[in-house]
Homo-oligomer: A and B are copies of this chain.
Amino acid sequence: MKNVYIIGIGLIGGSMALDIKRLYPKSTIYGIDSDESHLEDAFELNIIDKKAAIKDISNADLVILSIPVDASLEIVGDVLNKISDETLVIDVGSTKRLFCELIENHPKRRNLLATHPIAGTEHSGPKAAVLGLFENKTNIICEVEKTAFKLQERALKLFGELGMRIRYMNPVAHDKHIAYVSHLSHISSFMLGKTVIEKEKNERDIFDMAGSGFESTVRLAKSSPEMWTPIFKQNKDNVLETLDEYIANLKQFKILIEKDDFDAIYHEMKDTNHIKQILKGIE
Residues of A within 8 A of B (CB): 118-122, 137-138, 140, 165, 167, 174, 177-178, 180-182, 184-200, 203-223, 225-226, 228-230, 232-233, 236, 239-240, 242-247, 249-251, 253-254, 257-258, 260, 262, 265-276, 278-279, 281-283
Write out the residue numbers on chain B whose beta carbons fall within 8 Å of the beta carbon of A268.
Answer: 190, 194
A196 touches B214 (CB 8 A): no
Q: How far is the CA of A140 from the CA of B211 in the complex (A)?
A: 12
A229 touches B269 (CB 8 A): yes
Q: How far is the CA of A253 from the CA of B242 in the complex (A)?
A: 13
Tell me the nearest residue of chain B to A245, going by C-beta: B195
A185 touches B192 (CB 8 A): yes
Q: How far is the CA of A53 from the CA of B73 in the complex (A)?
A: 68
B269 touches A225 (CB 8 A): yes
A190 touches B272 (CB 8 A): yes
Within the complex, what minimum Cβ distance (angstroms) separates A220 from chain B?
A: 5
Q: How far is the CA of A215 from the CA of B121 in the complex (A)?
A: 12
**With A138-B208, A217-B219 as contacts: A184 and B195 at CB distance below 8 Å:** yes
A195 touches B278 (CB 8 A): no
**Can you list 23 pairs linking A and B with CB atoms under 8 Å apart?**
A119-B211, A140-B209, A167-B209, A180-B206, A181-B206, A181-B210, A187-B250, A190-B268, A190-B269, A191-B249, A191-B250, A193-B275, A215-B282, A223-B273, A225-B266, A229-B269, A233-B260, A236-B257, A236-B260, A240-B258, A243-B257, A247-B247, A247-B250
B122 touches A213 (CB 8 A): yes
Within the complex, what minimum Cβ distance (angstroms) separates A103 from chain B?
A: 22
**With A250-B187, A282-B214 as contacts: A194 and B271 at CB distance below 8 Å:** yes
Interface residue from B118, B195, B207, B236 paired with A281 (Cβ < 8 Å)? B207
Within the complex, what minimum Cβ distance (angstroms) separates A173 from chain B?
A: 9
Q: How far is the CA of A228 from the CA of B96 in the complex (A)?
A: 39
Write out the residue numbers on chain B whose beta carbons fall within 8 Å of the beta carbon of A203.
Answer: 177
Write out the residue numbers on chain B whose beta carbons fall within 8 Å of the beta carbon of A204.
Answer: 278
Write out the residue numbers on chain B whose beta carbons fall within 8 Å of the beta carbon of A213.
Answer: 120, 122, 182, 185-186, 219-220
Within the complex, what minimum Cβ distance (angstroms) separates A123 from chain B?
A: 9
Q: How far is the CA of A223 from the CA of B193 in the complex (A)?
A: 20
Write out the residue numbers on chain B whose beta carbons fall within 8 Å of the beta carbon of A187.
Answer: 250, 253
B232 touches A257 (CB 8 A): yes
Within the complex, what minimum Cβ distance (angstroms) separates A281 from chain B?
A: 6
B199 touches A192 (CB 8 A): no
B208 touches A167 (CB 8 A): yes
Write out the residue numbers on chain B whose beta carbons fall within 8 Å of the beta carbon of A207.
Answer: 181, 278-279, 281-282
Closest 7 CB pairs of A and B: A225-B269, A185-B217, A181-B210, A118-B211, A193-B275, A229-B266, A193-B272
